[in-house]
Amino acid sequence: MSQVPVTVLTGYLGAGKTTLLNRILTENHGKRYAVIVNEFGEIGIDNDLVVDTDEEVFEMNNGCICCTVRGDLIRILGGLMKRREKFDAILIETTGLADPSPVVQTFFVDEDVKEKTRLDSITTVVDAKHIAQRLRESNEAVEQIAFADQILLNKTDLVTAEELANVEKIIRSLNPLAPIHRTERCSIELDKVLGRKAFDLAHALELKPHLLDGDEHDHEHESGIVSVSLSSAMPLDGDKVTAWLRSLLTERGQNILRTKGILDVKNRDERLVFQAVHMVMEGDFQSAWKPDEKRYSRIVFIGRDLDEAELQRGFSACVA
Amino acid sequence: MSEPRLTNGRSWRFDAPVVACAYDINGIGAFALGDGTLRVFAADQPPKTINVHRGAILALSAHPEGGFLTGGDDGRLVHTSVGEPPREIYVHKSRWIENVAVSSESGLIACTSGKTAIIFQGDQATEFTHATTATGIAFDPNKGRRLAVSHYNGASLWWAKSATHEPRVLGWKGSHLSISWSPDGRFLISSMQENALHGWRVEDAADMRMSGYPAKVKSLAWDRRGRALFTSGSSRVVGWTFTGRNGPMGREPVEIGPDRDGIVQVVAAHPELDLIAAGTSDGAVWFEWIGEPGANFAMLNGAKITTLNFSPDGAHLAIGSEDGFAALVQAA
């Protein structure tokens, strides 16, 4: 049986997550969603497929200090699989204050979860009016944006065009990869939000970070979260680059939230596609470069206190 | 979907996953399904469908008074006797009942609901609350008046009589997913998130680690004399010796059965003979005599096996699988 797609919905309190969830649960879009929520009362819907849970973040005894998983999700996803035929996909709402890493790591670390489900995307709902202040007050609000595969920039009707442009700039400084969808009352075609395949390596054929223009490049957010984008037109040595990434993520994985890359490896016709969440990395050779395609390697790191010069040195040393 | 190959038995295909199987005190069997039904079977008749839960059944046990005790994701704990309408014992909407336990010695029954374990005695329900979710429960095998509850960072032992006393806590860092007493009540064994078992000697809380599994250990079966524990979680069945004061400490486990690609999911021990049955992730079921290498296959090419139960007289083995395939085969 195929793996069930799972969308993780994050966002600070009041950003509009509940509005979006209610839309997904009530609109006639031809798909059935099982929804795992934390604040049951907020969803005014009596539905067999809404499951209430308490977030239980557990440390794994596997020698990886930052490796935490959501024990409650492992149990609930296992339970939902017993009535697998009742729904097409799963949505997980995290509390406004949640750090997204344990949720995401659950999908990479637990064998049962990996067998039955696949992470489709981390979608973060952001309130255009209040996000700037939230980001100053809350580390979690920063991480929710840094982790996102896509961002719903909501309540755009409550701010001026100038404020909106400024908010987008802040978001871009934290996460240059995630597409931003501007919405009012979370009004967006749901198939733009769901079914993103953001973690599907076969789907990741290009990596186009939205980099800020020249002089703004060094304006790092006060949270210390930055992104570093590296590229090389020279083919890389496959063994060297793998070894470098492994040791880098082992040593610095606590500060590196997400990494994505598409690499041109010497003597290989296929591109090496990889991604990582903190220390947990997965990669694979995917579709071949086309004959007329410009072959080059690109890696984007999103993390805290990243040393761009050091990363560049490590990366350059991997050229074959 | 290819049909599994079955030797020597009857089979059915239900339209929901088989979650569990149990035989009640009168020898009547039941499969519990993901669609909330029990499929009750006796002798040579086809199984009878009883609608019990609104969603999936998550836990099943024989009720000490006959019939079956089930917990569901509709938040209900239900007693179903054949020929009578199902009777709801407890309900907490929006909280799943993920575990049930019974004691034939004391007649007590229990379930978990989130962080709470609840013991029922007559009309009285007593709640025992933990800091994290109660992931497994089991009554002590001697008098059945003490309940062990597994949770994050260890297990708690409660006396059924009162919820006011402090539990005895057996600590061990990490996520414990289920709990089982040795049949003599000397040891408690939990299965852990990290593909390992943890054990405590109840007398002095001495720790035991049983590790090296390639997968999570989801099924434990004590042999009929209580001298060994047979476990899933590897390509073969892994058996630990529990004779002597130290149990498995300092001893190598034994491995039973064929070394195949699939991982053993469920283990069952015969009630009267030295016979082990195992079901695998790739839909095989085999028997092997303890100490006599050489397996007999009862089934091949099915879906992941979810439950295996010998009938109380040891004549049959009930098999359930993830795709709704169920069978009754002759044991050995």
Per-residue pLDDT tens over the stretch B194-213: 999 999 999 999 999 999 99
CB contact under 8 A, B58 and A82: yes
CATH of the domain at A254: 3.30.1220.10
> Which of residues A164, A199, A234 is at a domain's end?
A199
Claim to verify: residue A148 and residue A129 sit in the same structural domain: yes
pLDDT value of residue A185: 87
Cβ atoms of residues B196 and B213 within 8 Å: yes
pLDDT tens digits for A178-226? 999 999 988 888 888 888 888 888 777 677 787 665 544 445 667 788 8
Give residues with Cβ within 8 angstroms of A123, minimum separation 6.
Answer: A7, A8, A9, A10, A148, A149, A150, A151, A152, A193, A196
Give residues with Cβ within 8 angstroms of B310, minimum separation 6.
Answer: B268, B269, B270, B271, B277, B316, B317, B318, B331
Cβ atoms of residues B190 and B173 within 8 Å: no
> Which of residues A171, A199, A227 is at a domain's end?
A199
pLDDT value of residue A14: 84
Q: What is the mean pLDDT of chain B?
A: 95
CB contact under 8 A, B73 and A75: no
Q: State the DSSP code for A265.
A: B
pLDDT value of residue A215: 46
Contacts of A72 in chain B (CB under 8 A): 133
Q: Please name the helix (run of DSSP H) or strand (run of DSSP E) that holds residue A242, with its range, or none.
A: helix A238-252
Range of lowest pLDDT (A10-24, A118-132, A194-208, B76-90): A194-208
Claim to verify: residue A153 and residue A9 sit in the same structural domain: yes
Structure tokens at B120: 């029922």
Claim to verify: residue A148 and residue A243 sit in the same structural domain: no
Is residue B2 predicted with pLDDT exceeding 80? no
pLDDT tens digits for B113-133? 999 999 999 889 999 999 999
pLDDT value of residue B39: 97
Q: Determine contact: B34 vs chain A, CB below 8 A.
A: yes
DSSP calls for B131-193 = SS---EEEE-SSSS-EEEEEEEEEEEEEETT-SSSPPEEEEEEEEEEEEEE-TTSSEEEEEET
Is residue A91 predicted with pLDDT exceeding 70? yes
Contacts of A81 in chain B (CB under 8 A): 17
Is residue A4 predicted with pLDDT exceeding 90? yes
Cβ atoms of residues B257 and B286 within 8 Å: yes
Q: What is the mean pLDDT of chain A?
A: 88
Claim to verify: residue A235 and residue A305 sit in the same structural domain: yes
Cα distance between residue A56 and residue B23, in whole Å: 35
Is residue A42 predicted with pLDDT exceeding 80? no
Give residues with Cβ within 8 angstroms of B139, minimum separation 6.
Answer: B101, B102, B103, B105, B106, B108, B110, B145, B146, B147, B148, B160, B181
Claim to verify: residue A183 and residue A124 sit in the same structural domain: yes
Claim to verify: residue A184 and residue A250 sit in the same structural domain: no
Q: In chain A, what percentage of residues exceed pLDDT 90?
A: 59
Residue of B nearest to A78 (CA): B58
* Three-state secondary-structure class, residue B69: strand
CATH of the domain at A146: 3.40.50.300
Distance from CA of B274 to the nearest CA of A (A): 31
| Identity of the residue in B94, B96, B323 whose CB atom sits nearest the CB atom of A40 | B94
Cβ atoms of residues A283 and A274 within 8 Å: yes
Give the other-Cβ count within 10 Å of B25's Cβ.
Answer: 13
Cα distance between residue B3 and residue B300, in whole Å: 9
The residue ranking higher by pLDDT, B161 or B98, is: B98
A83-102 average pLDDT score? 90
Claim to verify: residue A191 and residue A269 sit in the same structural domain: no
Angular region, B195: left φ>0, alpha ψ -120 to 50, beta rest: left
First to last CA, chain B: 28
Nearest to B10 by CA among B47, B49, B51, B60: B47
> Which of residues A199, A224, A240 is at a domain's end?
A199
Mutation for A interface: B1, B73, B151, most A CBs within 10 A = B73
Contacts of B131 in chain A (CB under 8 A): none
pLDDT value of residue A29: 82
Structure tokens at A243: 């070894």
pLDDT value of residue A172: 92
pLDDT tens digits for A122-134? 999 999 999 988 8
B168-192 average pLDDT score? 97
Cβ atoms of residues B279 and B319 within 8 Å: yes
Cα distance between residue B241 and residue B231, in whole Å: 12
Task: Label residue A64 by pLDDT band (50, 70, 90).
Answer: low
Claim to verify: residue A208 and residue A184 sit in the same structural domain: no
pLDDT tens digits for B47-62? 999 999 999 999 999 9
When divided into structural domains, chain A yields a total of: 2
CB contact under 8 A, B193 and A59: no
Claim to verify: residue A45 and residue A190 sit in the same structural domain: yes
ipTM above 0.85, yes or no: yes
pLDDT value of residue A44: 63
Q: Determine contact: B194 vs chain A, CB below 8 A.
A: yes
Claim to verify: residue A165 and residue A29 sit in the same structural domain: yes
* Three-state secondary-structure class, residue A129: coil
Q: Which domain holds residue A186?
A: 4-199
Claim to verify: residue A23 and residue A159 sit in the same structural domain: yes
Q: How many residues does chain B have?
A: 332
Claim to verify: residue A129 and residue A177 sit in the same structural domain: yes
Contacts of B57 in chain A (CB under 8 A): 82
B275-290 average pLDDT score? 97
CB contact under 8 A, B56 and A82: yes
